[in-house]
Structure 1
Amino acid sequence: MAAKVESYRDLIVWQQAMDLAVSVYETTRAWPKDELYGMTGQARRAASSVPANMAEGYGRESRATYQQFLRIAQGSLKELETHPLIAQRVGIAPRHAVEPLMDRCESVGKLLRLLIRKLSTE
């Protein structure tokens, strides 16, 4: 039997999104300092937006609004996926640093889609 969710912090998808955000911060520390307000900042903002939107939506009073915030989190996740790929293409980030981020993004994305579907059927 599944444990009762009493907070957004109980959601595995939120926990994984938090871990992803931390990984993005750690990975982008190695990026050039002249990218701090460019690619680095954009990647970090997108990464922190994913769990933040999940949390904000959870705190809203309607299921429809919660689902909308989860969709916004999905959009931020897709934005996040794009930044490391660009960084790899322009030589800022090596492939071995980008691949784990992409794997984490994929996992969070799958869980987000499942949560949205579950909320749609209840």
Structure 2
Amino acid sequence: MHNFRDFNVWKRGTELVKNIYSATSDFPSEEKFGITSQIRRCAVSIPSNIAEGSGRKTDKDFSNFLSISLGSQYELETQLIVSSSLGFLQEKVLEELLNELNEIQRMTRALIDKFS
């Protein structure tokens, strides 16, 4: 078992959640239950799966939850790109979020390799 608060990737994931909430706050109101909700839930699942996996008994189990988190990261990346193409995100904001997300992806893959 691991303490999720000790992992920088979890810390970065929680920061990403705050940035996602901020970036989606200006999305059209008709998207409140559409892409806005989907993006936010997806972002929250990134550090949540890291935390849940850290409480598992084996490193293999932890690695599986890291993989689930990584899947959510790629899902979020897609949703952000779609949001930009729909005109909901400015290109600069998209670039900043994707840079942040790509770093989290790199960190997650490194942990998966470590605990697999």
TM-score range relative to shorter protein: over 0.9
- TM-score w.r.t. the length of structure 1 is 0.91
Q: Structure 1 stretches (4+) deviating beyond 6 angstroms? A: none
Q: Give the secondary structure class of the aligned counterpart of 2:30.
A: helix
Q: Give the secondary structure class of the aligned counterpart of 1:31.
A: coil
Superposition pairs of residues 1-122 of structure 1, within 5 angstroms: 7-120=3-116
Aligned length in residues? 115
More moved, 46-55 vs 86-95: 86-95
Shift of 1:57: 0.3
Q: Deviations over 1:59-112 (max 9, x none)?
A: 011211111100000000001111111011111111111111100110000000
Identity score, percent: 35
More moved, 30-39 vs 47-56: 30-39
Higher relative contact order (Cα pairs below 8 Å, separated by 6+ residues): 2
- TM-score w.r.t. the length of structure 2 is 0.95
Structure 2 unaligned residues grouped into runs of 5+: none
Q: Greater Rg, structure 1 or structure 2?
A: 1
CA RMSD of aligned residues (A): 0.9
Shift of 1:49: 0.2
Structure 1 unaligned residues grouped into runs of 5+: 1-5
